[in-house]
Structure 1
Amino acid sequence: MDAAVFFTTFGIIFLAELGDKTQLTAMALATRYPWKKIFIGIALAFAVLNVGAVALGKFLFAVLPIFWIKLVSGGLFLFFGISTLRGGDGDNDGEKGPASARGPMLTAFLMILLAELGDKTQLVTTSLAAQHESPLSVFAGSTLALWGVSLLGIFIGKQLMRVIPLGTIHRVAGVLFLVFGLVILYQTFTGP
């Protein structure tokens, strides 16, 4: 496992999801159901989503030249940075979807699976897997970051938002997306 890839992935995904619909959904579900059951459903959903994202990223890495992968990845980071700073990152934070009567684990699993399918963090995970030859590091970093954000949502999300305004969290995430996008593009045009 590549520690640099793991920590980079973890940091990007963790900050991108702070205060986002994942965390808000975890908070909302925790008010209705036992936290352990909610977390199991959320954890399983993110594991499934990240397996798909990493597999797609590795496929792209195998069939496309790295220059084009990095060019598109850098562009995606810039896009998500700008859209996050503008407040239109495509996330409908207020939409939680219908609650299922089938139990808390299934409810949490389905809500996260459907809400996050094709979300920016899944696309970023795919992009990182396409750039690096360490799919396990990308999978572990992304999955643990998403689990961590979900746990924060369950346990201390309300207190965090009292201390740090949601807008500030989104601005920091947006700036980080821009920085990573610029670094990737710089490396694409100046690297070997």
Structure 2
Amino acid sequence: MEAFLVSTGVVALGEMGDKTQLLAMLLAVKFRKPVPIILGILVATLLNHATAGLVGGWIAQALGPQILRWVIGVSFIAMAGWMLIPDKIDDDESTALRFGVFGTTLIAFFLAEMGDKTQIATVALAARYQDLVAVVAGTTLGMMIADVPAVFVGDRLAKKVPMKLVHGIAAAIFLVLGVATLLNVGHLF
């Protein structure tokens, strides 16, 4: 349960103001069809985070426990710093005409998540907890918690939520996880 809850919370906070949340807002404004957009986000996130979780599990098995602890700890601390860097989005409309709302959303979200903070977080969380299902379910739920309201509310959400505060909280969580991992402290959450 810890892996699921931490994964959900970290990704939900980390996704606030992220480029994929901005992408959800842009798609909602452009297409005005929330259901296929939400389904596209869900499928893309499940595919992307399941792959990331498998990589995290492989890393956990390939490295010894001492090396793994340092790699994960440093990764979490690096994520804390990365959370403080705002995201920008590249708008590519070439796929919209060919694949419809669902397909465009699926492709755009899958590609936008490649190497993104939440994908890297999923790798690190899967390596730390070694529970693929709980981590992928949690990170996917976290994405949906952040992105579904963005679809419905659009850019009103971005104007009302202080993104610096949200990113600061997410950075603090990653920092605490990183330091706890490096110090080999048991489960904090």
Q: Structure 1 length as normaliser, TM-score?
A: 0.87
- The one-letter code sitting in structure 1 at the alignment partner of 2:183 is Y
Question: Alignment RMSD, CA only?
Answer: 1.9
Question: C-alpha separation between the residues in 1 aligned to 2:71 and 2:154?
Answer: 33
Matched, 1:106 2:103: yes
Question: Structure 1's 161 and 106: CA in aligned 2 closer, same or farther, altered over 3 A?
Answer: same
Choose 25-34 or 94-103, whichever is displaced more: 94-103
- Give runs of aligned pairs for residues 148-167 of structure 1, distance below 5 A: 148-156=145-153, 158-167=155-164
- Give runs of aligned pairs for residues 1-192 of structure 1, distance below 5 A: 3-33=1-31, 34-85=33-84, 87=85, 91=87, 93-100=88-95, 101-102=97-98, 103-156=100-153, 158-187=155-184
Question: C-alpha separation between the residues in 1 aligned to 2:140 and 2:109?
Answer: 13
Question: C-alpha separation between the residues in 2 aligned to 1:158 and 1:167?
Answer: 16
Q: After TM superposition, give the deviation of residue 150 of structure 1 in Å.
A: 1.4
- The one-letter code sitting in structure 2 at the alignment partner of 1:96 is D
Provide, for residues 35-60 of structure 1, a one-character-per-residue CA deviation record: whole Å limited to 9, x for no partner.
11111111111111011011111112
- The one-letter code sitting in structure 1 at the alignment partner of 2:15 is E
> Retained in 1: the 8 A contact 2:83–2:117?
no
Number of corresponding residues: 183
Question: C-alpha separation between the residues in 2 aligned to 1:59 and 1:115?
Answer: 23
> Retained in 1: the 8 A contact 2:79–2:121?
no
Question: C-alpha separation between the residues in 2 aligned to 1:77 and 1:97?
Answer: 31
Q: Structure 2: 5+ residue runs without aligned partners?
A: none
- The one-letter code sitting in structure 1 at the alignment partner of 2:179 is L
Q: Structure 1: 5+ residue runs without aligned partners?
A: none
Q: After TM superposition, give the deviation of residue 155 of structure 1 in Å.
A: 1.8
- The one-letter code sitting in structure 1 at the alignment partner of 2:34 is W
Identity percentage of aligned residues = 31
Provide, for residues 90-125 of structure 1, a one-character-per-residue CA deviation record: whole Å limited to 9, x for no partner.
x4x232333421201111111111111121211111
Q: Structure 2 length as normaliser, TM-score?
A: 0.88
Q: After TM superposition, give the deviation of residue 157 of structure 1 in Å.
A: 5.0
- The one-letter code sitting in structure 2 at the alignment partner of 1:47 is L
Question: C-alpha separation between the residues in 1 aligned to 2:92 and 2:173?
Answer: 29
